[in-house]
């Protein structure tokens, strides 16, 4: 397929590269930060509208809800390049409520819309091993499935538009609370005099094992907090969770606490740390570092 890909950042660039490796033609709008390998592998256009005009499918991978709105409906955006029958896929992590509105506006132009946020971070993007949570019509999902299979492994059509974003919010709640739990456990163990690396090794053989314990606990112990997935982005996702919970009348007390820990990290200058850096807020409260 010919694919317009808008958002060649930490996640978007390897995703687009994997689509190109699978034989698809990638068209991308001009941006000053485009790396030489992207310029060599992709067809560069003046703006998103030009890329979409020449493509069958448009994929968006940008940081937040306002960025998606601008990419879709701003000057030189996706909507300007659409004609009936094209498919728009938003793989960003944004508001489920806004997603339903965006889908309706794209549908009004005679095009299908899928919200398909991902989990797996930069490593998953590079390895084409992302988990992809999709909301939208069955026929549009079937059309997009070969593209998703070039970027991910665990691909699920959850329900109608908005369901993919709702699932991603749920994912981010679980991930944040697991990071906080692992942080607290390791800091507790270290202050009690145990070797946190050995504690991690022991726990990986039991019921407490998780991907967070496997991957992020190692980051915590080795002090490797380069993103990854930035704390600022996880704060954005938990804001979506807390805003949606307010709309639904649902209490998320532990999510709110995790958000406060991320805010403490940001206050320490850590908004750009990997989200495993949450451990540094727990260390500050305990006045004790893992190592």
Q: What are phi and psi of 235, to 5 degrees?
A: -60, -45
pLDDT of residue 37: 74
3-state SS assignment for residue 121: helix
Per-residue tokens: 192: 């009690």
Element of type H or E holding 43: strand 43-45
Per-residue tokens: 271: 């908004």
Output 30 or 100, whichever has higher pLDDT: 100
- pLDDT category at 38 given cuts 50, 70, 90 is confident
Report if pTM > 0.85: yes
pLDDT of residue 259: 98
Per-residue tokens: 68: 């998606």
Active site residues: 168
pLDDT tens string 50-100 = 999 999 999 999 999 999 999 999 999 999 999 999 999 999 999 999 999
pLDDT of residue 291: 80
pLDDT tens string 197-240 = 999 999 999 999 999 999 999 999 999 999 888 999 999 999 99
Average pLDDT over residues 146-165: 98
Burial of 106 per CB tally in 10 Å (0-12, 13-18, 19+):
buried
Listed in sequence order, the residues at least 6 apart from 12 whose beta carbon sits closer than 8 Å to its beta carbon are 5, 61, 62, 125
Q: Where are the alpha helices (DSSP H) in 212-267?
A: 217-222, 231-248, 253-267
- pLDDT category at 273 given cuts 50, 70, 90 is very high
State the Cα–Cα distance between residues 179 and 93, nearest whole angstrom.
19
pLDDT > 90? residue 158? yes
Average pLDDT over residues 1-26: 95
pLDDT tens string 103-141 = 999 999 999 999 999 998 888 999 999 999 999 999 999
């Amino acid at each position: 397929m010919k694919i317009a890909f808008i958002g060649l950042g930490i996640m978007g660039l390897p995703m687009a590269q994997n689509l190109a490796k699978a034989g698809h033609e990638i068209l991308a709008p001009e941006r000053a930060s485009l790396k030489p390998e992207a310029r060599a592998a992709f067809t560069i256009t003046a703006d998103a509208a030009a890329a979409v005009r020449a493509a069958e499918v448009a994929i968006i991978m940008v940081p937040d809800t306002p960025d998606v709105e601008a990419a879709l409906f701003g000057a030189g955006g996706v909507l300007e390049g659409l004609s009936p029958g094209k498919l728009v896929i938003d793989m960003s992590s944004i508001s489920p409520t806004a997603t339903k509105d965006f889908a309706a506006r794209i549908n009004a132009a005679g095009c299908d819309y899928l919200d398909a946020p991902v989990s797996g971070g930069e490593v998953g993007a590079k390895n084409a091993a992302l988990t992809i949570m999709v909301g939208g019509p069955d026929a549009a999902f079937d059309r997009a499935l070969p593209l998703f299979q070039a970027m991910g492994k665990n691909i699920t059509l959850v329900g109608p538009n908005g369901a993919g974003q709702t699932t991603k919010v749920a994912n981010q709640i679980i991930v944040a609370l697991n990071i906080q739990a692992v942080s607290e456990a390791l800091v507790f163990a270290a202050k009690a005099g145990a070797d946190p690396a050995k504690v991690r090794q022991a726990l990986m053989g039991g019921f407490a094992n998780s991907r967070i314990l496997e991957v992020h606990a190692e980051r915590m112990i080795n002090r490797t907090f380069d993103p990854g997935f930035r704390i600022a982005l996880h704060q954005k996702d938990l804001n979506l969770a807390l805003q949606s919970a307010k709309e639904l009348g649902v209490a998320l007390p532990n999510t709110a606490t995790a958000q406060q820990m991320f805010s403490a990290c940001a206050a320490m200058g850590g908004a750009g740390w990997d989200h495993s850096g949450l451990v540094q807020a727990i260390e500050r409260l305990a006045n004790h570092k893992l190592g």
